[in-house]
Amino acid sequence: MTDKPVKPEDLRSRKWFNNPDDPEMTALYLERYLNYGLTMEELAERKPIIGIAQTGSDLSPCNRHHMELAKRVRDGITAAGGTCIEFPVHPIQETGKRPTAMLDRNLAYLSCVESLYGYPIDGVVLMIGCDKTTPALLMAAATVNIPAIALSVGPMLNGWHKGERTGSGTIVWKARELLAAGEIDDRGFMELVATSTPSVGYCNTMGTATTMNSLAEALGMQLPGSAAIPAPYRERGQMAYRTGGRIVDMVWENLRPSDVMTREAFENAVAVCSALGGSTNAPIHLNAVARHLGVELNNDDWTRIGHDVPLLTNLQPAGEYLGEDYHRAGGVPAVVGELMAADMLPNPGALTVNGKSIGENCGDRRSISPDVIRSVDTAMLPSAGFLNMTGNLFDSAILKTSVISKEFRDRYLSNPDDPEAFEGNVVVFDGPEDFHHRIDDPATGVTENSVLVMRGAGPKGYPGAAEVVNMRPSAELLKRGVHSLPCIGDGRQSGTSGSPSILNASPEAADGGNLALLRDGDRIRIDLTKARVDVLLDDAELAERQQALEADGGYRSPPSQTPWQAIFREKVEPLAEGMVLRGAPEFRDVAGK
Ligand code: FES
Ligand code: MG
């Protein structure tokens, strides 16, 4: 509850629909919203106008169920005394958009800001789900800063194949290995992958979608328990109804995103992300949301706050279970409650959208299925957070330590004199197409001692930053049982991937980063204790290569294919700083202006 309640005459929508100083414009604003059957009582009297930022459409299957859920949101808004205005958000479908859905996060952000700012909306329900829809809408809510509440569409039901859980996204990495090793054919690949998507909803793994929806709840922007309810469950519709009712009260209370998404709330979200084994896309997105609120948050914070938080959630790709299991085990409140039981939630007093603190909401909640959500004492891993790596190739890159497998540890981190470091020879690929053309060619020279480097895959190089850094070994190595090689890159990695890659390297090769200077055969050292990656070349050699690159016209990226790609490349900032548009974070509280 805030100390600045709103009276009907203060409603923002009154400037459009009930402005005694300008009856002419009021009439013009009103008449077009009356023309489909809304009444004067709904638009111009005591009712707040509540936007429903609709991200579902036929183009966006992960969020399509929101078209159904919006009906329950409307019922909740109407019952609480509000009027609904549902409007479309620029579609984002993670698996369908070329070259990458990430390119559209900032575009959806921009368009949603314009909708919220430019129309008579007093509060908004953010219909979140598929990976980038969540950060896009949280960023827009941050910039506009009108009362806002998020509603997840919910994960799909569990996928099954021959009695085993098949997780969306994660199964693709496995199927890809089986195909490369000749164990399944193309049709078998398709059938295996399709088992992982059995219903409406978003990815049922702890990929970027489940991560970001859970973090939207941990940030305080969803009602407690909202994130994990599977899309087809009846509780999902009930949560939609309650979310619609709550936003109306939030307008009267003037409870705004800047009251909820404080530095304290972000610290909680970072800790919860580790406990979840959350996606490596989370630092990019939360750093971006924070910047639009003027809250300090950087990749060092992720290591400092998150690195030593244990992995509590046994979900694929780091574990074995899926979305339905997560919900039945208690979802986000159980994870938060288990952290609180060990005094590991940084700020239990942080406010949430229901008007209570996260500690009040979750403090007495515990896991209902102790194998799915663990206690701190029975954690899957003692330290599950990200390491923010640095060195002579980049200033910042993220390593998700929770997915370093035993096979990987035994192969690379078993030297007793140097247990957390190893060296290898680099094989460099310029973008995903180059990788696909050459990885299985014996002339490329990939061996079990190789470190695979992907460059030209950052926000400017491959506009939006491709999810391609998790590169599989060559087919020949896979057949010999080598399932992963160390990977480094300036692009991203799918949240559903379990590879121990060093990702999001900033600055990227196409923006002056030293990855552009690497050549095949260079020796690289990766040291997890020091959180460093260094190419074993002296500064003079690096400077010489830099000069040669500049003389050759600099690092080359493919041309932009659309106007937005060109604008995006010109304006975008590095992944480490959230990949936001230069200048956008300077706009704050725009609804009040
Ligand atoms: Fe949309 Fe995973 S592809 S949620
Ligand atoms: Mg993805």
Domain ranges of the chain: 161-191, 387-552
pLDDT over threshold 60, residue 1: no
Q: Answer whether 467 contacts ligand 1 (Cβ < 6 A).
A: no
State mean pLDDT over 523-544.
95
- Which residue in 506, 518, 510 sits closest to 555, CA to CA? 510
State mean pLDDT over 13-19.
95
Atom of ligand 1 at shortest range from CA of 93: 1
What pLDDT, on the 0 to 100 scale, is given for residue 389? Answer: 97
- Convert 38-62 to b/e letters by CB count within 10 Å (16 or more is b): beeebbbeebbbbbbbbbbbeebbb
Question: Measured in angstroms, how far is the CA atom of residue 90 from the centroid of ligand 2?
Answer: 18
| Residue of the CA atom closest to atom 3 of ligand 1 | 94
What pLDDT, on the 0 to 100 scale, is given for residue 23? Answer: 95
CATH of domain 387-552: 3.50.30.80
- Please write the tens of the pLDDT for every residue from 432-456: 999 999 999 999 999 999 999 999 9
State mean pLDDT over 466-483.
90
pLDDT over threshold 70, residue 390: yes
Question: Measured in angstroms, how far is the CA atom of residue 344 from the centroid of ligand 2?
Answer: 29
Question: Measured in angstroms, how far is the CA atom of residue 207 from the centroid of ligand 1?
Answer: 8
What does the angle CA 470 – CA 153 – CA 125 come to, to the nearest 5 degrees?
A: 115
ipTM for this prediction: 0.93
pLDDT over threshold 70, residue 499: no
Count the neighbouring beta carbons within 10 Å of the beta carbon of residue 87: 15
- CA 575 – CA 580 distance, rounded (Å): 8
By percentage, how much of the chain surpasses pLDDT 70?
A: 99
pLDDT band of 531, cuts 50, 70, 90 = very high
State mean pLDDT over 384-401.
94
pLDDT over threshold 60, residue 2: no
Of 500-504, 510-514, 546-550, the least confident: 500-504
What pLDDT, on the 0 to 100 scale, is given for residue 402? Answer: 74
First-residue to last-residue Cα distance in the chain: 24
What pLDDT, on the 0 to 100 scale, is given for residue 50? Answer: 98
What are the backbone dihedrals phi and psi of residue 554, each rounded to the nearest 5 degrees, phi first? 85, 175
Q: Answer whether 466 contacts ligand 1 (Cβ < 6 A).
A: no
Amino acid in position 479: K
Q: Rounded mean pLDDT of the chain?
A: 95
Q: Answer whether 102 contacts ligand 1 (Cβ < 6 A).
A: no
pLDDT band of 346, cuts 50, 70, 90 = very high
Q: Answer whether 203 contacts ligand 1 (Cβ < 6 A).
A: yes
Query: Which of 131, 197, 212, 316 for a ligand 1 pocket mutation test, highest count of atoms within 8 Å of Cβ?
Result: 131
The string of DSSP letters for 408-436 reads HHHHHS--TTSTTEEEEEEEEEEHHHHHH
- Which residue in 426, 478, 422 sits closest to 455, CA to CA? 426
What pLDDT, on the 0 to 100 scale, is given for residue 38? Answer: 97
State mean pLDDT over 333-350.
98
By percentage, how much of the chain surpasses pLDDT 90?
A: 88
| Residue of the CA atom closest to atom 1 of ligand 1 | 130
Query: Which of 55, 60, 63, 94 for a ligand 1 pocket mutation test, highest count of atoms within 8 Å of Cβ?
Result: 94
